[in-house]
Amino acid sequence: MERRHVDIFTDGSCIQGPRNKKFIDGAGGWAAVLYYGNESLNLYGGEYKTTNNRMELTAAIKALEALQESCDVTLMSDSEYVLIGITHVEGWKERDWVNKRGCPVSNRDLWEQLLPLLKKHVVHTKWIRGHSGIPGNEICDSLASTMSKRIMQEHM
């Protein structure tokens, strides 16, 4: 049986809150736009006390979780962190979540959530330049930014 092809754009955003020595995380938003044929689906959300990298990863996780069957996916992002991480996550797991430099992998909890989704789907990654007029990326950027602002306002 041939898999359906889905194009996915993802993005994350984080607004830094008041800075002090103990708190450097901010209000974050994530977004994904899924395209299948002529149909599209926008997903978005946010968290407080998070980072941009966590929001970028969350967007990819939520997008892949939304697919109800195994699909052939082109995952497009302006986040090198996510795209490069996808190519290394199996190795990190094999090395007990330590990178090649011997340091613990950041955001391990999210990489562990992403790993089975990468096995369920055939995922091809594509880096795209942010803010370059690509509609799917622009929609994601706007949704993620809006969510991070909304989360920040809720906690002021």
pLDDT band for 130, please (50, 70, 90 cuts).
Answer: confident
Measured between alpha carbons, how far is 146 from 143 in angstroms, rounded to an integer? Answer: 5
**Known catalytic residue: 11?**
yes
Average pLDDT of the residues in 15-44: 82
**Known catalytic residue: 88?**
no
Which of 37, 96, 131, 133 is catalytic? The answer is: 131
Measured between alpha carbons, how far is 28 from 145 in angstroms, rounded to an integer? Answer: 8
Which of 29, 78, 85, 121 is catalytic? The answer is: 78
Which of 56, 85, 121, 136 is catalytic? The answer is: 56
**Known catalytic residue: 124?**
no
Residues near 89 by Cβ (< 8 Å), separated by ≥ 6? 111, 114, 115, 118
CATH, residue 109: 3.30.420.10
Measured between alpha carbons, how far is 12 from 148 in angstroms, rounded to an integer? Answer: 9
Q: Which domain, by its residues, includes 39?
A: 4-154
Mind listing the pLDDT tens digit for each residue in 83-112? 999 999 999 999 999 988 999 999 999 999
Tokens 């901010």, located at residue:
26
According to the model, what pLDDT value does residue 26 have?
86
Quick check: 18 pLDDT over 80? no
**For residue 111, which of 128, 126, 94, 127 has the smallest C-alpha distance?**
94
Q: Could you give the number of structural domains in the chain? A: 1
pLDDT band for 2, please (50, 70, 90 cuts).
Answer: confident
